[in-house]
Structures are given as C-alpha cells and as structure tokens.
Structure 1
Amino acid sequence: MHVKTKLFILFAAVMAATACNNQPTEKKLTGNPKIDKLKLPDNFNADHLYSPGDNKQGSWVSMTFDPKGRMIVSDQYGYLYRLQLPAIGDTTTKIQIEQMKIGADTSSKVTMGYAQGLLYAFNSLYVMVNHNKDEKFDKGSGLYRLQDKDGDDNFETITLLRELEGEGEHGPHSIVMAPDKKSLYVIAGNFTRQPEMNRYSIRTSDSTDNLLPMIKDPNGHDQHSHARGGWIAHIDSTGTNWDLVASGFRNPFDMAFNNAGELFTYDSDMEWDFGMPWYRPTRICHVTSGAEFGWRHGTGKWNPSFPDNLPAIVNIGQGSPTNVVYGGNAHFPEKYKKAVFAFDWSFGIIYAVHLEPNGASYNAKAEEFLSGAPLPLTDGVIGPDGALYFLTGGRRLESDLYRIYYKDNKENTEVLAAEEPTELQQQRRKLEAFHGGPQAGAVEAAWPFLKHEDRFIRFAARIAIENQPVAEWQAKALQEKDPATMIQLGIALARQGKPDVKSALFTQLTTIDYSKLSESQQSDLLRAFELAITRLGEPDAAQKTLLIAYLDPHYPAKDNILNRGLSKLLVHLDAPKAVEKTMSLLADAKDDPEEQKTATASADLIMRNPQYGLDIANMLAKMPPMQQTFYATVLSQAKQGWTPPLQEQYFKWYYTAFGFKGGHSFLGFIDNARRNALALLPKDQFEHFNIISGDSLARSGGADVAKVQPKGPGRRWKVEEATLMIDSGLHNRNFEQGKAMFAATLCSSCHTVKGAGGVAGPDLTQLGTRFSNKDILEAIIEPSKTISDQYEATVFTMKDGSSITGRLVNEDDAKYFVSQNPFSPKDLKEIDKKSVNGKKESTVSVMLPGLINRLSPEELRDLMAYIKSGGNEKDSMFISSDKLTKK
C-alpha cells in the first residue's frame, strides 16, 4: 500500500476515534455558519455579535472594556470604535456602535487608531499604535494615553508616553494592568527597537552569543530584526519610568498574569525553520524578572537548554500566536478560571493552558478550548459579565466579534482567591528584588543560590549578581571553589566582565573536574566557555591550547546536547581532531526522542483538522535529521583537519540532504552552509566538490514552468463576480486541472502548496482553513489592496534622480541587497548606500495583478478548489456527488 494511503487511513481512523471519545458532545446546528463552525467544550455557548466588514469598519485586532461596560475596539488600519453590547440572552436589543471622536479635531481624519493594544485604566484609554506616520494618520508607533478631562465622554487629550521604533506584524503590541493595579506592562515584537529604559532587570547585548556559523534566513525574513528580539517592559501609569523585564522573544502579541501574580506570554518561532536543529515550536513562556528567551536571527537562536535563557513551560506547535488572557474573572468552571487562554491566528484555535506549580515555575498542559476554520483570532478579553469576548480578522480579512459563555452565565460568578506562591516561587521573588541595579547585600544574598537545584532559582540568583557592579564580585568569583557555583559565575563574568578577565576565567573554569559534573552541569560549563569567547573575545594561542586540552578528551559524548556544544567549541578552536570526530558523528547521528517530540510538536494538529493534517504528516514523514544538520553547519566553518576522504564524505552529505523535507527555508539553509564550506576550498577543488555536493539539486529547487496552459476564454475578473460564482459551490472539481492552473497562473513560482513551489510569498497550504472565498479572490485580483509587511517592496530614490524598487532582503554597512524578480528571489541587486537619497515602502504588491484573467469560470473553480483544499486530492470538492451519496 502507498505510504500516503496508509497515512490517510491511519489518520482517518484516529480522527474517528477522537471524535467518538474525546470531543465535546455534538451541538445542534443553529443555521448561523459563523456559530456552527465553532467547536466548544460541553455547556459552553457562543454568540456571533457583529461583523464590522459588513459596515465598512475595517478588520478589528484589539479590544478593551471601559468602566461603563462598553467595548472599545480598533481597526488594524483605521479608527477606534465604541460599542454598547446587548446582555447575554437579549435577542432584541441591537448593538450600538460609534466611531470615537478623539482630540480637538473631530473631522473624518483618523486622529487615533491603528492600535494593536488597548487598555482602559486609571481613568484613561491607553493605546499602543502600530503604524508609521503618513498622510492619513499623523500618530507614529508608540504608547499613547487618552483622557476625557471635561467629562463629555470624548477623549480630547492625547498624550504620547513613549515613541517606539517599529511597526507591522512584529511591531509594538499590547498593554496590560500589573497585579499591583498601579502600573502597566507593555510588549513588543522583534521588529521593535528596544527603547532606552530607566531600569534594566536584565542587561541585554547585541551579541548573538552563538558560535554556530551565522546564516540568516535565506529567504530574506527577519533581516532587519533587532538582535535582542522582542521585549516586555514594566512602566508606571504616566509612562515616565520604564523597566526592561524580559527580552529574547520573537513576536509575542499579548501577555497575562495569573492570580498568583505570575506573567505568561505566547511566543512564536519562524515556521520556515521547521525541521532545522534551531527551530522551536510556538510556546508558552513563564516570564520572570530578568528573563531571556534566546530568540536570535537564523542559526543564532539559542537552544532552550542554554542556562542563560529560560525554557518554555509547554510547547504548542506550529501557529501564529496572538492574544493571551487569564480566565480568573470569567464565569467559567474553576478549571477554566485558572487557565491562561492563548490564541492562534493561523489555525484558529484558542488553547486553555492549565498551570501546575513546579518549584519556582510551572508545568503546563494545553487543551484545545475553541476552534474553527477559518477563524483568524486576533484579540480577546473577559467582559464585565464574565463572558469571553474575542475578535477575528487582521490583514483586512473579514472580521467578526464573538461572545463565549458558560450555560446561562449565572453560575461560577465567585472570584477566586489570590493563589499563594510556592516556597520556591517566594524565594525566586526575593532574589528578583535585587534585579534592576546595585543594591547593598545583593551579592551575599544571591551567592548561595547559584548552585540551587531549581533552574529558575539559579537564573534569578545570577541575574541578581549581574545587576551589581562587577568590581564587587569578580575577585570573589575567581576564588570560588564549588564547581556548580563556578559555572554560573563564569557565565556572569562572560556576560558582564571585560576582556581582561578572559585568561583568568579560562584558567579557573578548566580546573573543574568535568567528569564529576552532571550532564546538565557539563552543558552549562560548555556554554560558559562559548559566552567567554563571544563576549570577551577570541582566545590567544596559549588559551586555545588550554581549552582544547581540557575539552577534547570528552568529545564525543553520549549526549546530543553535549556533542553540539563540544563540536561548536572544538571546531571553532581548530582542534586537530575536531573535524574527524565530528564527521564520525555526522555519519549516523540520531535525534533524541525528546528533541523529535519538541520539533514535531505540531503533529497533534493532524488529529484536529483533516484538511491540513495530512500535509503536516507528509512534512513530518520526511523530516531531516536535525543532529546531522547541526554537525554539517558546524563543519562549514572548519578550515583545518580535513583529509580527502573526509571532504568527499562531507560534501556528499549535502547531496543527500537536498532530498530531506523541511520548512520553506530548509533548502536555503542547507545550500548556504554548503556554499560557506565551498568558499574555504582551494580554487582547483571547487568545481568537483560543488558538483558532488548537489549544486544541480540546489539550482532546481524552484517550480517548473507549467506545461498545461489555460484554454479560456478568460475575462477581466472582478472580486464581486468571482466571489459570487465560487460561493455558489465547488463540487465535482478537477484536481489535476486545478493543480495545472496553479502553475499556469504562476502561483507556484512564488507560493508553496504541500511543500512544492516557490518561497517568495507565503505558504498557501493552509489558506482554506483561515480565509474566506472573498479574502482569497481579493488577494489574487487586487494584490496591492493589502500588503503584509513580511512581503512588501521598498522604493529606493537614488541621488541621480532614478528609483529602484524591490524586496529588501539584506543590508550591510555599505550596500542594500534587493530582490526584484518575485519568480527568482535569490537573484539580488546590490545598491551602494552612498548613491541612495531615500527609501520608503512601496504601495504596490510584488505579486502581479490579473494572473487569473486567462482562466474560464470552470478553470477558476478548479484553481480555487485546489487552493482551498491545500492540494489535497482526496478533498470532498474533488469527489463527485454520486460518490458522496454512496458514501
């Protein structure tokens, strides 16, 4: 039996069993498709309250309630609106909605909007604007405070609390109330430059802190992200004092405190990195004071095991994190009152994350609370009535407002008592009191806890010491004799010391008896050496000799994490046997079961949605060996230690690697590592190793020109006409013709479906689970109407009066590197920065309009069926009605 057939039968059986045993009781259909598509636990009800798109009020992405129980929302690209909602069970009262009048200018001009964060607090409306100034909107990205000082129910006073540099989907996001009810927390994604702070609970650095050869995303994503990543700050109500609480995120949209006063967020990773050894699934993070979560560009991401960052408390899987809200004020059963709800825009799932105290942190389990397809979830909040209100939309998609409540909402109204922190959580907080700057007694108080068994305690103790002047503790650190304490102090000195401490630090760390350490302590020690090199500078010849003599006898180890650390260090140090030993490991390295589980955390989606579950299964079935990929990347910087047989073996590995299946950037990462290794060869050897390493495979990674062309007759398709035709139904469609039209209209040149196609644009495999027919057709017919900042072009105005337009992929101090051809995105034009007068984002999409105008109605139906099915030929759209009847 064919592998795909086996997988399909297996998944169908599992789906059936899951539906019978684990899913909520099937609810009666209401006749409202927006409600009927939702899956909820038993005894929960849903109301569809409003569709702003029906009234040309945009696509809503943020919300809050004011003291009068009115909801305030924001269009992602426009105004703020205020709503008076009917009570639960009231079917006669209509929603009252108004566009809010803000500031002295009450004309049609947008004076406040574009908000990805809203919070009503301290008799004010706080607005996190995520948008650069333009002709329509003169308020740039930043945090604003709106006040109604004259009591006329309009906010006439607008105060900019802090301007922020960054916008778009990874820009500044949400604001939440602090547990003390006297201050606020704000959160921003990795395209938002970290502003100057008054206080730093964690002292960040632009250093990547990773000896793995740096390869940025080969498709141009994240090229302009700031090295420190996304961040969270604690501020006072006036926005005067800012404290950096945590950093090293990719793009967390929101955060929430539980009733113990602990903070949580839902962070993403780059889905194009799926299958790479540095990929991390979307995850729930317990954000403690001074926390660092290790996101960096491309290969620079830190392993969650690194002691200088904190791990997730639960990995979710693939997705696009948006809202986070705590259920404490909900009129829900206690199980859900204590849950943190995490929203996934991509797959349309609200997870209820159940927390269980574990030492100084938590264990967590994520339960699917609500789901629907398509259901692009944006923001949510617990209302004054104890119901969960949430929005869908974003990117100008069709937007909706929903309300979720338990039974008749008259039960479970009691407020949960504040949860008492565990003993270790209390100890962690005592140590965190020393974060943020010099304090008397901090070093003495934190020192004993550097060797504590609890990782969060150790982390808090080290951050407390790092916040004190190095001169107060450096000498004491270099005299320390306890190995566990020495390791943590070595990390602290590497991060906060000056280069002149490097020799003494290497000498001290190499006195530790490596063989008597636990595996986690050995890993921490290797990280201390790595940080000393990245922060304090390259070791001199004598120091190299010392380090190689100390590390080489322990390589290879029995543990994959240890071998990653040892291989990086020894290859970087040019250890004589490093290449030979690493090549021996590369030959048959196996991934750890736990690591495979982490990397493939999205496998549970297979049993949630058969529409795209099989596509994920196919990807996981061809996952590349991550440990081998790591070794190959490490060896791409090796200059010494090669023999001809080892070189043959190494470069032939790449030929095999091009047959693996990963995310969109997988082949690019593999090819860039290959190219880096080839660049170190003598010129007379280049051609041979270029051929045997798979250069032909690297070059043929794109989609072929379609052989089947449309028969037509075509027409100039309009959104309304095409939507009406597709909405009438997609039945008995021709899968092969749909696939052929996907290539003939050049869609496959830029977009991937089921792992095949180009990478200049987003993956369309899951498009049908998130977008309506109108959304899809509008994106095809009017591509410039909404342009994601992930794929926008830049217009460069040159000093000679000319202009250059293309997608800015990379830049260095001297040049911009621009991709101008969406069908050949790797061909880059180099622009000398000295010749550029200015640059701005283009309002024209790099996607060409009119690509479907050659298609007849039947060909367009087949194309839409192919796109909506995600390339699944077993979808019901391709099964004849008589066969469906027989089934």
Structure 2
Amino acid sequence: MGVKQKLLWGLSAVLATAVACQQPQERKLTGNPKIDKLKLPDRFNVEHLYSPGDNKQGSWVSMTFDDKGRLIVSDQFGYLYRLQLPAIGQDSSAFKIEQLNIGPADSTDSVPKVSMGYAQGLLYAFNSLYVMVNHNKDKQFDKGSGLYRLQDTDGDDQFDKITLIRELEGEGEHGPHSIVMAPDKKSLYVIAGNFTKIPEMNSYRMPPSWEIDNLLPLIRDPNGHDNVVNTHGGWIAHIDSTGSSWELISSGYRNPFDLAFNEAGDMFTYDSDMEWDFGTPWYRPTRICFVSSGSEFGWRPGTDKWSPSWPDNLPAVLNIGQGSPTNFMSGGKANFPDKYRKALFAFDWSFGIIYAIHLQPEGASYKAEAEEFLSGAPLPLTDGVIGPDGAMYFLTGGRRLESDLYRVYYNDGKKTGSKETEAPQLTDAHKVRRQLESYHGGEKPGAVEAAWPYLKHEDRFIRYAARTVLENQPVATWQQKALAEKDPATIIETTIALARRGDKAIRDSLLQQLQTISYAQLSTAQQIDLLRAFELVLVRMGEPGAAARTSTIAYLDGHYPAASNELNSPLSKLLVHLEAPGAVKKTVALLETAKDDTTAMKTAMSSADLIMRNPQYGLDIAGMLSKMPPLQQTFYATVLSEAKTGWTPELREQYFRWYYNAFGFKGGHSFLGFINTARKNALKNVSKDQYAHFNTISGDSLLNSNGRLAQGGAQPKGPGRRWQLEEALKVIDSGLANRDFEQGKAMFNATLCASCHIMKGEGGTAGPDLTQLGTRFSSKDILEAIIEPSKTISDQYGATVFTMKDGSTITGRLVSEDDGKYVISQNPFSPQMHRELLKKDVSGAIASQVSVMLPGLINRLNPEELRDLMAYLRSGGNKEDSMFVNPVKIGKR
C-alpha cells in the first residue's frame, strides 16, 4: 500500500472514531485496527496518518515541527525525514515526504555529501535544527553521539551546514535523548540517560558527585545490565543557543527521555526504573519528578538506589507504576480544553499509555494526579509534539518495531477554551525556594547568611535548596558555624553538607554532634534524616575512631528495632556496618517476621491492571503477583550478607534457610540473581568447614550452573531462533514420525503452555483445554496461534478493556457478571484471583486486540524440539499415538 493510500485509510476512519469516542458505551469499530485499538476521552478524534515501515523508512522515535509547519522525524537506526502533512479535514493529496540529506552549499553533486539521523532528540529553534545523535560511529553512519546543529545557509530550503555542538560519551536506549526550548525562548535544555557520562560543564547548580553513598552491600544487576554505567545516573543541563555554555541542573535519574515545563516555568521529567528489579525493595515505580535547581533523585546501580525518603535527594511528585517512559511534553499550545492545556503528557512505551499529568502547587513543590488520556495495545509510544495547528502528533515504534504516525484533535480541531492558560498561583514556600535557588551555581556573597534560617524549614524542598546553597560555598566560610549549631534540624542538614563537602578530619566531631540530638523528640521524618546523616558521615568520611564508634553504637542501638520498616532499614544498615553487639541477632529476628508496608504492597498490586496490555512485560508482573516476594525481608537479608561478626550457629541456620524459601518467590528478571548473589556473599563469611552445609541449606541445589532455578523436566537445548510461521510449518510438514513423547511433554512445560492450558486434566485454566487440539485444528492453525497469538483471539479467553467513568481503563478476562458488577481475572498465573468492577463506574467495554498469550514462546526450541512439541499437541498428550511408536531417546540428537 502506497503513501497516499495509507494516509487516506487513516483519514477515512476519523468520523467513525469521533462517534466512538463520544459514545463509548456504544463504541463501533472502524475496520482500521490501528484506530480501533485506541481509547480517548469524549469528543477527541484520532487519525492514523502514516506507517514508515510500509515504505522501508525504519522505526521512528523522535519528531519536531519546523518554522514552515512541516514535521521532521528520525528513524532510531536510520535517517531524518521531512513531512508536509494535510490539514485536519484535508484530503491526502497535500501529503509529501522526503529524506533529509545534508550537503555543503557549493555542492553540485546529485548524491548528498552527508546524512544525518540516529536521533533520539530533535528540536527546530533559532532557525536551526538541533539533532541529538545517539549512536557510536561506524562505517554506515559517521556521526557519533552528541548534539548537532543543522542550518540552511543559502536559503534553498535544505540544510547544508552541520555544527557539532558537543560530543557526548554514551549511546543506546540510555544514551543522550531530548533537546527542549527553555521558557525564556533564548536557551535550551538537554537530557540524557544513565549510560551517558556527564561532560565537563561551565557551571554546576550542585557540585557533581559520582559517589554511591549507600552502606547497603552493592550488588550490581546480576544480568549485567548496569555493570558499566556511571554512578551519577541520568542528568539535565542548560545550554545557550550556540552550546558554548553548559550548566548542570539535575542528576540521579535512571533513564528519563524528555522534560517539560508547566505554565509557571517549572521543569518536570518522567523517569523509569529497571523493570528487572520488580519485586525487590530497591525497585521504584516510574515517576514524575519536579526538577528543581541542583536536584538529585538518587539513582544508583543495582541494590544501592537511594530511598526517596532520604533528605539528600528529592521525592517524586507522583509515582505511576510499571512502564518505560519516553516522551514528556506540555499541552499548553494544544487546541484542547483548558484541563488538558494545563496538563503535562507522559508517554509509556511498554504498556501503550499517554497519561495526562495534572499538577497543583503544594508547599515549595507540587502534587499531581495521572489520568489515562490515550491508550492502546500494542502501542509502543516513542515521541510526541503539539503541532502548529494545536493537534497532538505522536509516534509509535522503537527497537525496529512497526512504526506509525497519529494525530489527535478535539472536536473539529479549532481553538477551544481560553486564549491563554493562567500560570498557577505560587505559594509563599515556592517563592522562598526560588529565592534560595538564585544562590546556586557557585560562590556568591551573602549566600550562607541567606540560607541558614531555612535549613530547619518544615518544607523539604526548601531545606534541600538551603543546603544546596551551603554546598556551593567554600566550606571554610560556614564549617565552624555548623559545628557550633544547637538546633537539631539545622545540625542534621549541616552534617549532611559537611559529610559531602568537608574534610575527613572532622568525622568524629560530626558523629558526636549528631548524638547531642534527642532522638525521641524528633518526628519520624526527622529521625530518617538523622539516620541518613550518620550514614553519610560513615560512607563519605570512613570508619570512626574507637570512642566515636562506641558512642554511636550506643546511641543507635537503643532505638533498634523500631516500630516501622522505614526506620529499621537504615538502623539495620548502620548497626550491622558498625558491628554492634546484638545487631545480627536483632536483624535475623526481623528477617523472620517483617511484613511489608501497605503502601509498598498497594504499589505492587496496582500493576495487575497492566498484565494484559502487553504480555511480554505483563507476564513478569503476573508471575510476581502470583507469589509476591517479601520486600523488607529481602532488604534485611542483603544487609546481613556482609555481617562478619555476631553470628551463632543457630542464627546462621535461620539466616541461610531463609534463602531456600526465597527462591520460591517470583520477581523481575533479576530478582533471583540478586538473592543468589547476596547468598554467595554471605557464604564468604562462614568457615571453610561449614561452607558445604550452609551452601546446601540455603538452596544451592535449587539452582543450575547459570544461577537460574533448576527446572523440572528437560529444558530446550536449542539453539533457538525467532520462528516465523512459514519456516515453522516447513519443519512440521517434513514429518512427525518417531517423535519423543517425554521431550514433547517437557517442551510443553518449558514453553509455559502448561501454566495456562490443560492437557489431559493437568495444567492451568487461564486458557482453553488443549487435549482435543489435534482433532480440531491443522498444524498451520496451531503454529499460527503460537507464533501470532493476537491474530485470532477466542471470545471465551480473550481480555476485555473496560473504560471507567473516571477516564481510566482496566483490562482483564471477564469471568462473570450480574446486574451490579463485572467479575474479572487479570492474572493468567493466578486465574482464581478476581476483581470486581461496579457497573455504575463503567462507561464502556471493548474486546482487547492483544492476546494474553506471550508471542515467541517457542523461540527457545530447535527444529527437533519443535517437532516433539507439535507431536505432543497433535496427540492430545497421548503417549500411545502412532507419532510416538519409536521414540528417539532424549539427548541422542
């Protein structure tokens, strides 16, 4: 299908989609699956404009409009394209597309001299195209990662000049990302992920730090993902239009792709965490962060991410949950109702959701709510922008996936609501914070005096801003003032500042000063701050002298264990690190009995809504929720893994037996590796004659040589491949004689078929009984259902997407209903776990176009293993079937 045909197909579906969005309870399908899978608020319309993959133009991940209203986009692994789009309601004849090739102004060659692309950030500003290349140089594309400026110097409407503004060290999905215009319209901001080294800056709002700053034993990702990344995390910098001046604004993220400003000119970003860490105490949900001056958000490798409650980093204004953040933008220029023009829009690639983030000032920061604005499955969202026509344009694709361009508009697309959205009324605390931030970025007269009274302010963001002022000033100008301080809250903040910026010679003095604070008179939040101050002194300044160690242990030990996990976590770290008498005994007791906080459990359980939106990621959530790991116990086990003293034989028995049980829990891809690494670290502290015993009782026999759980039955030997239907069918059609029944049954289990399907009375119940499969379906039918499970979905076992009256959607398999409610199942691994939806809260429902079955389940199999599996399926699990008359022995092939 050609360009204009694809465009016309998208445009022809608009009217039907508009009706569907206005009356979701009577939603009708348009016949265009790219449109029908989308959910939008009432009166919003959507057009599918273009599919670059159909025209061999790659998978698009970034976009911007130029000064002539044309859209410029980039293929993730290819080049730039410029599109002239038809106006809303216009036919497809106005559509044009060209690949952008950049040559020198005096070039007369028909072949371009230079190509540009591989961009994860694009911005047209200052009569130039800024391009953030995310790619290591190679023979195909000689532009390395960095920020480039493209200009048209001869007025022929083609870029002919390329200027490398700044080379950046980092690439890939965690490399350098977006470029955004500053609110002053005179400068720019750039953002990068945690694989990108912070380049040397001209100035810093907060003196940069590469310190991990955590006493919890560091276990990097067991699967090797973050083993070579920078410890400072992702970062944001402010630059001028020429890129000659760079200022570091914020750091400590994992992988934020984009940033946006609200009407007040405050900056926000949408950050991720590692989904492989799901089920661990150091996992943090994807979150919206208010990016204040000099802010730090505490990302560190592996186990050592900072708690959001620690005072030396800042908390999110909103935790969203599982996902993979990509685009983040303001709706301020959209022809949308005021509610959405005031919103920020956050794109989630994994689960296909655009959230509208609604902000309200609160103290010196904000509070926020997320509304599901647009969603679809699958819908791998990559980038978005508000066009000059006030419509929202967005892309899907990335990782060479099928890519599409869409347009969303309200009503007829014309201007609606007030002419300009009003900036929010800022609080007094907000104004104080901004005044303090004016002292950030270097030595400034009067800074210490201006900041000091606010070190004890009740607002956390003000305290943070005040302490950042101190850390920007020479330590000699405020150290003695800090050591003479008597106010408890001020002592805590100045100790943190001195631990980070001061000389190690004052270490014991700082510990003694902290002990002058009455712990019992502090609030819980202040107690957390105090314990963090102790930790920073130890981790930054080293081991205390004997007297300071003894007094510190005595001060802390009297408060351990505490009544809450948020206090026991830092207390356990501190006391085990200091080798306090009784610390191991107390911590092992907590290991046996600790219960997770309600908030932590609620955050985990809320992810059940995502399971059926994307089986590739959702099944990991399903597995975890079917056997949830104990988060707090995992934390204590990791703390104890470095304890060398304080053990008795009985305590070691308790401790190592905990691991045996822990291997039975489910978590993200790295959960098992974290547990096993902590176990191995702990085994280093036992005597050689006891090693074998504790290795055995801690579950070594449960693991294979790769550190994964040993599976019952034979596992695929491979090598596997990405099976396609035609190739797989040729393998099966070549013959299914003399197959191995036992290996076929083992492959049925190894490919997770038995988790959801019954065969001869055994297996899961989330999918249909497969015992009669071979009598009803051909080999092609069976293979197609395995390889392309979403092509045909049984109405009995498919999921339903319920649109709620609050604008959210909930996906699950409908189990039953009555006059007042729907009963759904959201977890194929625990189908007996049901959720009730009151019909009065539901505005509409539509069948999901995504199967709950994960595609690619047979990709671990070699041809012989695939034949055995197919024979097992075709036979209905019948060992006496003629296909198994002369079975080949396992391992003989």
Instruction: Give the whole-Å Cα distance in 2 for the aligned partners of 1:849 and 1:602.
Output: 27
Secondary structure of 1:398's counterpart equals coil
TM-fit CA distance, 1:111: 2.0
Instruction: Give the whole-Å Cα distance in 1 for the aligned partners of 2:291 and 2:741.
Output: 47
Question: For the Cα contact (< 8 Å) 1:289–1:435, is it kept in 2?
Answer: yes
Instruction: Give the whole-Å Cα distance in 2 for the aligned partners of 1:120 and 1:753.
Output: 51
Instruction: Give the whole-Å Cα distance in 2 for the aligned partners of 1:861 and 1:325.
Output: 52
Instruction: Give the whole-Å Cα distance in 2 for the aligned partners of 1:372 and 1:34.
Output: 9
TM-superposition CA deviations, 1:120-167 (whole Å, max 9, x none): 011110000000111111110000011112111111111111100010
Counterpart of 2:434, as a letter, is R
Paired position in structure 1 for 2:229: 225
RMSD, matched Cα: 3.5
Instruction: Give the whole-Å Cα distance in 1 for the aligned partners of 2:562 and 2:686.
Output: 29
Question: For the Cα contact (< 8 Å) 1:347–1:373, is it kept in 2?
Answer: yes
Paired position in structure 2 for 1:539: 544
TM-fit CA distance, 1:356: 1.4
Q: Of the two, which has the highest radius of gyration?
A: 2
Counterpart of 1:358, as a letter, is E
Paired position in structure 1 for 2:662: 657
Paired position in structure 2 for 1:557: 562
Alignment of 1:582-601 (within 5 A): 582-601=587-606
Paired position in structure 1 for 2:578: 573
TM-fit CA distance, 1:27: 3.1
Could you say if the C-alpha distance between residues 141 and 597 of structure 1 is closer, same or farther in structure 2, counting changes exceeding 3 Å? Answer: same
Paired position in structure 1 for 2:533: 528
TM-fit CA distance, 1:514: 1.1
Alignment of 1:716-727 (within 5 A): 721=726
TM-fit CA distance, 1:411: 4.0
Paired position in structure 1 for 2:386: 382
Could you say if the C-alpha distance between residues 369 and 848 of structure 1 is closer, same or farther in structure 2, counting changes exceeding 3 Å? Answer: closer
TM-fit CA distance, 1:490: 0.7
Paired position in structure 2 for 1:182: 186
Paired position in structure 1 for 2:245: 241
Alignment of 1:349-388 (within 5 A): 349-388=353-392
Counterpart of 1:574, as a letter, is E
Paired position in structure 1 for 2:150: 146
Could you say if the C-alpha distance between residues 305 and 753 of structure 1 is closer, same or farther in structure 2, counting changes exceeding 3 Å? Answer: farther
Counterpart of 2:549, as a letter, is K
Secondary structure of 1:93's counterpart equals helix
Secondary structure of 1:41's counterpart equals coil
Instruction: Give the whole-Å Cα distance in 1 for the aligned partners of 2:406 and 2:508.
Output: 62
Instruction: Give the whole-Å Cα distance in 2 for the aligned partners of 1:176 and 1:738.
Output: 60
Paired position in structure 2 for 1:692: 697
| Residues 1:452 and 2:457 are matched in the alignment | yes
Counterpart of 1:163, as a letter, is E
Alignment of 1:77-226 (within 5 A): 77-104=77-104, 107=111, 111-226=115-230
Residue of structure 1 aligned with 2:297, choices 293, 296, 301:
293
Paired position in structure 2 for 1:37: 37
Question: For the Cα contact (< 8 Å) 1:709–1:741, is it kept in 2?
Answer: no
The sequence identity of aligned pairs, in percent, is 68
Alignment of 1:320-469 (within 5 A): 320-412=324-416, 414-469=419-474
TM-fit CA distance, 1:717: 9.6
Paired position in structure 1 for 2:672: 667
Paired position in structure 2 for 1:809: none
TM-superposition CA deviations, 1:327-351 (whole Å, max 9, x none): 1111111111111111111111111
Instruction: Give the whole-Å Cα distance in 2 for the aligned partners of 1:512 and 1:94.
Output: 72
Residue of structure 1 aligned with 2:510, choices 482, 505, 510:
505
Could you say if the C-alpha distance between residues 234 and 861 of structure 1 is closer, same or farther in structure 2, counting changes exceeding 3 Å? Answer: farther
Instruction: Give the whole-Å Cα distance in 1 for the aligned partners of 2:380 and 2:867.
Output: 28
TM-superposition CA deviations, 1:729-779 (whole Å, max 9, x none): xxxxxxxx9998897599869x9999xxxxxxxxxx9xxxxxxx99x979x
Residue of structure 2 aligned with 1:253, choices 249, 253, 257:
257
Question: For the Cα contact (< 8 Å) 1:705–1:744, is it kept in 2?
Answer: no
| Residues 1:58 and 2:62 are matched in the alignment | no
Compute the TM-score of the two structures, normalised by the length of structure 2: 0.78
Counterpart of 2:263, as a letter, is N
Question: For the Cα contact (< 8 Å) 1:478–1:505, is it kept in 2?
Answer: yes
Could you say if the C-alpha distance between residues 296 and 409 of structure 1 is closer, same or farther in structure 2, counting changes exceeding 3 Å? Answer: same
Instruction: Give the whole-Å Cα distance in 2 for the aligned partners of 1:22 and 1:610.
Output: 29
- Contiguous gaps of at least 5 residues in structure 1: 1-19, 726-736, 755-764, 766-772, 779-846, 864-887
Secondary structure of 2:666's counterpart equals coil
Counterpart of 2:231, as a letter, is A
Question: For the Cα contact (< 8 Å) 1:142–1:163, is it kept in 2?
Answer: yes
| Residues 1:639 and 2:644 are matched in the alignment | yes
| Residues 1:476 and 2:476 are matched in the alignment | no
Question: For the Cα contact (< 8 Å) 2:721–2:859, is it kept in 1?
Answer: no
Deviates more, 1:500-509 or 1:393-402: 500-509
Could you say if the C-alpha distance between residues 640 and 703 of structure 1 is closer, same or farther in structure 2, counting changes exceeding 3 Å? Answer: closer
Residue of structure 1 aligned with 2:496, choices 484, 488, 491:
491
TM-fit CA distance, 1:28: 2.3
Could you say if the C-alpha distance between residues 426 and 553 of structure 1 is closer, same or farther in structure 2, counting changes exceeding 3 Å? Answer: same
TM-superposition CA deviations, 1:662-700 (whole Å, max 9, x none): 111111111111111110111111111111111112338
TM-fit CA distance, 1:445: 0.7
Deviates more, 1:409-418 or 1:640-649: 409-418
TM-fit CA distance, 1:630: 0.8
Counterpart of 1:560, as a letter, is N
Question: For the Cα contact (< 8 Å) 1:715–1:855, is it kept in 2?
Answer: no
Question: For the Cα contact (< 8 Å) 2:260–2:269, is it kept in 1?
Answer: yes
Instruction: Give the whole-Å Cα distance in 2 for the aligned partners of 1:702 and 1:628.
Output: 20
Instruction: Give the whole-Å Cα distance in 2 for the aligned partners of 1:437 and 1:612.
Output: 45
Compute the TM-score of the two structures, normalised by the length of structure 1: 0.79
Deviates more, 1:593-602 or 1:58-67: 593-602
Question: For the Cα contact (< 8 Å) 2:351–2:613, is it kept in 1?
Answer: no
Instruction: Give the whole-Å Cα distance in 2 for the aligned partners of 1:22 and 1:230.
Output: 41
TM-fit CA distance, 1:34: 0.6
Counterpart of 2:639, as a letter, is V
TM-fit CA distance, 1:191: 0.6
Instruction: Give the whole-Å Cα distance in 2 for the aligned partners of 1:73 and 1:709.
Output: 42
Paired position in structure 1 for 2:763: none
Instruction: Give the whole-Å Cα distance in 2 for the aligned partners of 1:741 and 1:251.
Output: 42
- Contiguous gaps of at least 5 residues in structure 2: 1-19, 731-739, 757-766, 768-782, 789-856, 874-893
Could you say if the C-alpha distance between residues 222 and 609 of structure 1 is closer, same or farther in structure 2, counting changes exceeding 3 Å? Answer: closer
Paired position in structure 1 for 2:283: 279
Secondary structure of 1:446's counterpart equals helix
Secondary structure of 1:169's counterpart equals helix
Instruction: Give the whole-Å Cα distance in 1 for the aligned partners of 2:96 and 2:511.
Output: 69
Could you say if the C-alpha distance between residues 536 and 107 of structure 1 is closer, same or farther in structure 2, counting changes exceeding 3 Å? Answer: farther
TM-fit CA distance, 1:432: 0.7
Could you say if the C-alpha distance between residues 478 and 630 of structure 1 is closer, same or farther in structure 2, counting changes exceeding 3 Å? Answer: same
TM-superposition CA deviations, 1:90-133 (whole Å, max 9, x none): 13424200011213277367621100000001111000000011
Paired position in structure 2 for 1:730: none
Instruction: Give the whole-Å Cα distance in 2 for the aligned partners of 1:566 and 1:539.
Output: 17
Question: For the Cα contact (< 8 Å) 1:717–1:852, is it kept in 2?
Answer: no
TM-fit CA distance, 1:419: 3.4
TM-fit CA distance, 1:621: 3.5
Paired position in structure 2 for 1:12: none
Could you say if the C-alpha distance between residues 705 and 510 of structure 1 is closer, same or farther in structure 2, counting changes exceeding 3 Å? Answer: closer
Question: For the Cα contact (< 8 Å) 1:215–1:669, is it kept in 2?
Answer: yes
Could you say if the C-alpha distance between residues 619 and 741 of structure 1 is closer, same or farther in structure 2, counting changes exceeding 3 Å? Answer: farther
Could you say if the C-alpha distance between residues 182 and 545 of structure 1 is closer, same or farther in structure 2, counting changes exceeding 3 Å? Answer: same
Question: For the Cα contact (< 8 Å) 1:357–1:363, is it kept in 2?
Answer: yes
Could you say if the C-alpha distance between residues 526 and 429 of structure 1 is closer, same or farther in structure 2, counting changes exceeding 3 Å? Answer: same
TM-fit CA distance, 1:204: 2.3
Could you say if the C-alpha distance between residues 667 and 39 of structure 1 is closer, same or farther in structure 2, counting changes exceeding 3 Å? Answer: same
